[in-house]
């Protein structure tokens, strides 16, 4: 999710301006702000994901090896 938000933010910032459209006061500033907010959202999503993963690993009585196997199976099936 975080990577998708980050890619969307970079794409929004890099979109070319339409030369035929009437010029706004600062069209580049608006796209840059949207891109920055998307990148900021990606950072927060990544941070929350790391904290949640740590909470799951520490709060469970299941061994770390079994958790790694579960994550590997889920990751391989979605990749």
User: For residue 12, which of 46, 39, 47 has the smallest C-alpha distance?
Assistant: 39
Residue with tokens 């702000």: 33
pLDDT recorded at residue 20: 57
> Which tens digits make up the pLDDT trace of 59-71?
878 888 888 898 8
What 3 state SS string does 31-79 have? HHHHHHHHHHHHHHHHHHHHHHHHHHHHCCCCCHHHHHHHHHHHHHHHC
pLDDT at site 16: 66
């Amino acid at each position: 999710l975080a990577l998708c938000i980050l890619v969307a933010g970079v794409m929004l910032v890099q979109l070319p301006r339409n030369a035929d459209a009437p010029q706004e006061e600062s069209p580049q500033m608006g796209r840059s702000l949207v891109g920055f907010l998307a990148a900021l959202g990606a950072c927060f999503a990544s941070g929350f994901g790391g904290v949640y993963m740590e909470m799951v690993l520490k709060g469970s009585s299941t061994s770390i090896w079994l958790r790694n196997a579960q994550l590997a199976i889920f990751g391989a099936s979605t990749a």
